[in-house]
Structure 1
Amino acid sequence: MYEELLQKQKRIAVVGLGYVGLPIALEFARHFRVIGFDINADRIAMMKQGEDPSRELESAMFCDKDILFTSDPDDLKQANFFVVAVPTPVDDYKVPNLKPLQRASEMIGKALKPGDYVVYESTVYPGCTEDDCLPFLEEQSELTLGRDFKIGYSPERISPGDKKRTLTTIKKVVSGSDAEALEQIAAVYGSIIKAGVYKAPSIKVAEAAKVIENTQRDLNISLMNELAIIFDKMGIDTQEVIKAAGTKWNFLKFTPGLVGGHCIGIDPYYLLYKARQLGYDPQVINSGRRINDGMPAYIATKLLQMLLKKDKNPRQTKVLVMGLTFKENIADIRNSKVAELVRELMKYSINVHLVDPHASPNEVAHEYNLTLMDGPSNKYDAVIAAVCHDEYKALDISYFKELMNGQPILLDLKGMYAVREDDGVEYWRL
């Protein structure tokens, strides 16, 4: 397979061109003939013009690439090596929603031919590729794994907004349904990943490795969030505690905060779901999720207490929230915990203004039914600096005082600002 792809006798198809799929498709297109498929025709139209709908990649990345962008499933029949990079969300009850994976598998199954390969990159629980995706491939193609085609799993390791740790500089885990599949898949990915590939002994091991990467980060942050709650009750600055503890060589410097996005905020639920299917209810993972999911309500309650302490009626207050994206300097608003914070504030009838220099107003309106303002006004009772965008890090306390009324309150969720007691601002940070 690898040699035929390299000689451009066969094609790679990347199904799903979001934050994960588009970068991998463009990198493959440096060396191979590629079909970039997405069900969203509007996104495809933008990519044909050299524009990344996610606003992560520069237009130069699209130049001189052997790639066909399409939303027509029939075009997939021209491919022989399929890479699946569709979303794996959860529903309102935190249960994995496999419909995007299933639809992609059905679509590829209709295009599958003897000798083809299918590699999944979407984050799932161990066993999902073979137990939940493979049946759709076999049913639609009327082919049999091993005899007619091969599958693999290579978990994505895209870090949105990170300009140093890019796709090709991060070691890639690969796996295959048999020894031959593993070698061929490793060769294909190895041709673009400068950091090299790691050959996992099985698909399930590769799936498990991915899901625990994010679960581990989730748990570490949940510990710091719980400590922040405890230290706040003690009147201790959590950031100062972390600085002091960080002088020990083996202390891990995680910090408290809102845990949004897809990787940390969603992926642990896939492992929780699978464990419960097997009759085990995870205690530690579930506790970490509960703490992190509860942080928006905790912060909203903290602000309410600060407003009441200043004899301010929440119904008559106006609060500015700065930043909505799930991390700094990106446009990604998926699973934004800031949006949940805004809703929690609105429960107290607080008038909330929301700004973000990177987020799309249309996407915010569509995803959260919230209005993103062009810029802040003034006479706010409080300001919440929620995301550490570069534009916000450059601000000083005088800027915030000018935005607020005579009793200013600043909630600095990322610890961006140094505030003195004589600055005349009621200051709080996680």
Structure 2
Amino acid sequence: MNLYEKIVNRVEKISLIGLGYVGMPIAVAFAKKIDVIGFDIHDEKIELYKKGIDPTKEVGNDVIKNTTVDFTSDETRLKESKFHIVAVPTPVKEDRTPDLTPVKSASRTLGRNLTKGSIVVFESTVYPGVTEEICVPILEKESGLKCGIDFKVGYSPERINPGDKEHRLETITKVVSGMDSETLDMVAKVYELVVDVGVYKAESIKVAEAAKVIENAQRDINIAFMNELSIIFNTMDIDTKAVLEAAGTKWNFLKFSPGLVGGHCIGVDPYYLTYKAEQMGYYSQFILSGRKINDDMGKYVAENTVKQMIKANKQINGAKVAIFGITFKENCPDVRNTKVVDIIKELEEYGIEVKVVDPVADKEDLWKEYGINLFKTEEIKHIDAVIFAVSHEEFKGINLSDLTMMYGARELINLETLEEVAATSEFDVFVNRKNYVLIDIKGLFDRKEAEEMGYRYWRL
């Protein structure tokens, strides 16, 4: 039997190294068909998985409770596997150059436990050349084995979209590659066990690596264009969303929206590509321009929040602002590289007190990463401005009447809803006296309705 047949017949196992938002769903998917060892260096994360708790909320507690994945933080268990998938994060450093520390560390760990006849597939997003030029030498040094003779390598870029219940591992075409045709065929067969829509065989590992970084660079550039349009239209006092809706009636108009671009993919991957390009002597003019626009959007939102507060005659130093949503995207607990933090930092520079509400965010990660605590919605009172930064499903149930109470309406008129307030003779005084600042980054509310209700409304 070849390795694929041994895996299918449960003679050999596969391993997942890195059980985060990408690795864990992959491990769970494979475990439905074959034997899987799920390895992560974080003991506390492994303990949660063993207890049936899904901290990523990607597949849910019930799935974790019933999966057959053998979760472990003991690296020696990797020796039991012959097919290894490395799915660790690849962030950027403060200077926005690639931080390959996690993938190098994972390679060292795996190398110490690598056995002859193994195949190693990297899923981490990297620039072209990392797998063969950086990871392979580490694997060889740590294992004492020779790549191409004792073990083979491949690359299959992750395409899992955290928080997205529609586009999953099983429903997204999987790009696969291998160092030779034999490895490519083996990698393809293994992934075909779980990817229902099939795989695409890239002609080389470098092609697969490059494909991944340009997927997100393309999205980054398109969103940057929308953000620049938003800046332009705001100076013209034109509603950007209304413009995009009108333009979107054309059949070939690309429907992107302005917004904050963070996270571990779109906000990071372009830097991997431009870093490698600079090593080769080419300096990006287009990609980095878009990245700069997107990196500056948090500051832009904060500055416009302050401007709206000044127009509303608010005292800036000592003011209170509530921000709803701090994760890098909706319906996902991941706070890595969230650009909402840029808004918070900028507002605090003005002496503004910021309170964050997010029922989805990972509280522990948020505190470790940024030193930020969360508040409950009912704790938001006497606020000078409210910013909706992330469109979590939970926030879509909030209406403009509910928001009114956060600014102190209960203290002005002791009534529960805006409808009750409207029924009183004091309604006109209530509306004219209170100039509520509402910053709606994601366009969750109707602009016209908000302005008719007395809100000072602004959005990208």
TM class by shorter chain equals over 0.9
The Cα of 1:64 is off from its aligned counterpart by 5.1
> Equivalent pairs: percent with the same residue?
51
Residue matched to 2:36: 34
Residue 428 of structure 1 corresponds to: 458
**RMSD of aligned C-alpha atoms?**
1.2
Please state how far the C-alpha of 1:226 moved relative to its aligned partner: 0.4
Larger deviation, residues 67-76 vs 356-365: 356-365
1:350 aligns with 2:382: no
- Give the equivalent residue in structure 1 for 2:282: 280
Q: Which residue of 1 aligns with 2:48?
A: 46
Give the structure 2 partner of residue 23 of structure 1.
25
Residue 454 of structure 2 aligns with an amino acid whose one-letter code is G
Aligned match of 1:378: 381
Task: Give distance in 1, aligned partners of 2:447 and 2:217.
Answer: 34
Give the distance between the partners of 1:86 and 1:241, measured in 2 at CA: 40
User: Superposed, which structure 2 residues align to 1:8-407 within 5 Å?
Assistant: 8-62=10-64, 65-375=67-377, 376-405=379-408, 406-407=434-435
Q: Which amino acid aligns with 2:47?
A: A
3-state SS of paired residue (2:70): strand
CA displacement, residues 164-216 of structure 1 (integer Å, 9 cap, x when unaligned): 11111111000000000000000000011101000000000000111111000
* Structure (1 or 2) with the larger CA radius of gyration: 2
Question: Deviation per CA, 1:227-246, whole angstroms, max 9, x where unpaired?
Answer: 10000001110001001101
**Partner letter of residue 390 of structure 1?**
E
2:53–2:65 CA contact under 8 A, matched in 1: no
Give the Å deviation of 1:327. 1.2
Query: 2:312, 2:436 within 8 Å by CA — same for their partners in 1?
Result: no
Higher mean C-alpha displacement, 312-321 vs 274-283: 312-321
Alpha carbons 2:25, 2:58 under 8 Å: kept: no
- Name the SS for the 1:36 alignment partner: strand
Cα distance between partner residues in 1 of 2:110 and 2:392: 39
Offset from partner CA, 1:314-370 (integer Å, 9 cap, x none): 113111111111111121111111111111110111111111111133221111111
Cα distance in 2 between the residues matched to 1:19 and 1:355: 22
Q: SS where residue 286 of structure 2 aligns?
A: helix
Letter in 1 for 2:440: D
For residue 287 of structure 1, report the CA deviation from its aligned partner.
0.4
Q: Normalising to structure 2: TM-score of the pair?
A: 0.91
Rounded Cα–Cα distance in structure 2 between residues aligned with 1:275 and 1:80: 35
CA distance, structure 2, for counterparts of residue 141 and residue 209 of structure 1: 30
Shift of residue 59, structure 1, vs aligned partner: 2.6
Letter in 2 for 1:423: M
Q: Which amino acid aligns with 1:79?
A: S
User: Which residue pairs with 2:445 in the alignment?
Assistant: 417
Determine the C-alpha separation between the residues in 1 that align with 2:369 and 2:57: 17
- Number of residue pairs aligned between Structure 1 and Structure 2: 430
2:54–2:60 Cα contact (<8 Å) kept: yes
State the 1:422 CA deviation: 2.3
Gaps of 5+ in 1: none
Distance in 1 between residues matched to 2:108 and 2:146, nearest whole Å: 14
Give distance in 2, aligned partners of 1:232 and 1:198: 43
